Amino acid sequence: MYQDQALDLEKQFTAALKSIARRSDLKSYVEQTPQLNRILRHAAARFVTGEARQDGLDAGQKLIAKGYAISLEYIGENTTDASECEAAVKEMMTLIDDFGQKGTPARVSFDLSHIGLSLDTELAFSNLMKLAEQAQRAGVELFISMEESSKTGQILSVYKRAASIYPNVGITLQAQLKRTPQDLAMLASPCRVRIVKGAYQESDDRSIPRSPALNERYVELVESSIRQGHFVSIATHDEQIIKTLLDQGLTGSNIEFEMLYGIRPDLSSRLKAAGHPVRIYLTYGQEWYLYLCHRIAEYPPNLFQAVIDLVSNEEIEPVQSYN
Ligand code: FDA
């Protein structure tokens, strides 16, 4: 009985935090209240490298030096102002150039709704093409994140058009969506695909909640991606799923493990030490508030750590936790 109540509370907590993340009034309050902004930014340092591009590049270089591959995201989504979309594209172009000039083997990840999808599909497509062209020249990989299910069809169709011209563009699929096995089957082979569980709250008719059934679906999606000849990023921190896949003898040059910066560095370190390719997904930017809420919502014990961080003056440097 008590356990049921606790689970129910956890679900409500997750939903509340996800809606807090979307409340523009709360976000403005955080942005405009210096003291609050400072302490929350301190807590966000567990998951976000900093506000500036250089913060992401510096943390990324340290991880590369330790033998990890990296993804870097300039945080942002649901941008409804055309000039902000343009500014985001400019920022990503500079990031791609930085990687290209230093010869850093990296992946740039982003939401299509950060570069125009919330305004016009064609704007998102043309911005994606600009990024893909530049990335191809710089030897950089681009990865499109997956957003709410209301956008899945649009995102996939923009991705497919771009990937038919630029093979350096990859796509993220969410195991939690019931439609995903069909979406996966419709991708041209071979391509670059990242399998995640899914971070968005979706209705029961469209999605599978966190459960053994979802974990089974996740494993099946990875297996069928490999069968289809795709390069697969296994993007989960779920140790049981990873164990199941490794027990099946999953190895080779067409897979990698990918985990979010600051989450389960112990697991990333162990996988790397065992000789598996591991990529760490880093973020930077001013929109860290949204990202912090998401990371706490998907794993409520993070709230305890966040509260400890709020009152601590200790410098937080997650890179040090990676061996
Ligand atoms: P699950 O949530 O079941 O957690 C399994 C275990 O992992 C937990 O028990 C805990 O030990 C650990 N864990 C998970 N989250 C944690 C956290 N925040 N803090 C501490 N420990 C945690 N989603 C999406 O909808 N669209 C996208 O494009 C992406 N992109 C993306 C890229 C990459 C590289 C990753 C790793 C993840 C995403 N996600 C995403 C997020 C993804 O959908 C999912 O919400 C998180 O990865 C958490 O799910 P897990 O697979 O880790 O399992």
Task: Please answer whether residues 174 and 136 qualify as being in contact, where contact means their C-beta atoms are separated by less than 8 angstroms.
Answer: no
86-145, pLDDT tens digit by residue?
999 999 999 999 999 988 889 999 999 999 999 999 999 999 999 999 999 999 999 999
Q: Report the separation in Å between the CA atom of 268 and the middle of ligand 1, taken as the mean of its atom positions.
A: 13
* Nearest to 280, CA basis, from 73, 53, 51, 40: 73
- Say how far apart CA 193 and CA 81 lie, in whole Å: 29
Atom 35, ligand 1: which residue's CA is nearest? 235
Q: In ligand 1, which atom is closest to the CA atom of 238? A: 5
Other C-beta atoms lying within 10 Å of the C-beta of residue 197: 19
Whether the predicted pLDDT of 70 surpasses 70? yes
SS3 category, 301: coil
- Residues flanking ligand 1, CB < 6 Å: 145-146, 172, 174, 196-200, 210, 235-238, 258-260, 263-264, 281, 295, 298-299, 302
What does the pLDDT average to over 178-197? 96
Q: In ligand 1, which atom is closest to the CA atom of 145? A: 28
Q: Report the separation in Å between the CA atom of 224 and the middle of ligand 1, taken as the mean of its atom positions.
A: 21
- Say how far apart CA 212 and CA 259 lie, in whole Å: 20
Whether the predicted pLDDT of 194 surpasses 90? yes
pTM for the structure as a whole: 0.94
- Say how far apart CA 286 and CA 27 lie, in whole Å: 11
Q: Report the separation in Å between the CA atom of 216 and the middle of ligand 1, taken as the mean of its atom positions.
A: 16
Six token digits for residue 252: 């080779």
- Say how far apart CA 57 and CA 267 lie, in whole Å: 23
* Nearest to 59, CA basis, from 309, 281, 290, 291: 281
State residue 195 phi and psi, 5-degree precision.
-105, 125
Task: Please answer whether residues 69 and 279 qualify as being in contact, where contact means their C-beta atoms are separated by less than 8 angstroms.
Answer: yes
Whether the predicted pLDDT of 17 surpasses 80? no
Q: Which fold has domain 2-321?
A: TIM Barrel (3.20.20)
- Say how far apart CA 75 and CA 198 lie, in whole Å: 17
Atom 13, ligand 1: which residue's CA is nearest? 237
Whether the predicted pLDDT of 1 surpasses 70? no
List alpha helices for 73-205, DSSP H. 82-102, 121-138, 152-163, 180-185
259-270, pLDDT tens digit by residue?
999 999 999 999
Q: Name the residue with higher pLDDT: 30 or 292.
A: 292
Six token digits for residue 235: 């993007």
Segments making up each domain of the chain, as ranges:
2-321
- Say how far apart CA 174 and CA 207 lie, in whole Å: 9
